[in-house]
Amino acid sequence: MRKSFPFLAAVIITAALASGCANVEQKFSRGMSNMAEFARLGEIRRSMEQTALFDDPGAHYTLGFVRGFDKSLVRTGVGVYEVVTCPLPPYDPVLTTYPNPVYPDCYAPGLIAGSTFETDTHMGFSGGDVAPFIPGSRFKVFDMH
């Protein structure tokens, strides 16, 4: 009798996490994306760009970096919160009024160039971003826009 309680608890927890998983998946994936903000450096790059354009062009390396670093800390903390609380409502974004993931306004990466996303690879050529996962990469193959 005592050995069945942990098994029953595990089954109930698994059933609770598996039911209604569309919202849970969105909240979990949004949290994982936000937790990876320091690897992407999107907030720092965007804040430096916005500071150079709208505030003081000479302060974008200092003031823009500090603003971006602060926003990256907030985004990472929100990501940890969303991952930990993904099975629990509310499922709407918490504390975010900006797009997810964030990139500088002058550049938004596309899909990686490769046979997974390209439909014309059987002909021997394809296009797209070569390395969008590397911060600052702007190289595209067959860029038509």
- pLDDT of 96 reads 65
Mean pLDDT, residues 13-38 taken together: 78
pLDDT top residue among 16 and 49: 49
This prediction has a pTM of: 0.61
CA 120 vs CA 30, 109, 113, 114: distances in Å = 31, 20, 11, 10
Question: Kind and range of the H or E element at 83?
Answer: helix 63-84
Domain boundaries, the chain: 21-105, 109-145
Task: Name the band, by pLDDT with cuts 50, 70 and 90, for residue 73.
Answer: very high
In angstroms, the CA 106 to CA 104 distance is 5
Q: Do the beta carbons of residue 72 and residue 43 sit within 8 Å?
A: yes
Task: Name the band, by pLDDT with cuts 50, 70 and 90, for residue 27.
Answer: confident
Mean pLDDT, residues 91-103 taken together: 70
Mean pLDDT, residues 54-77 taken together: 88
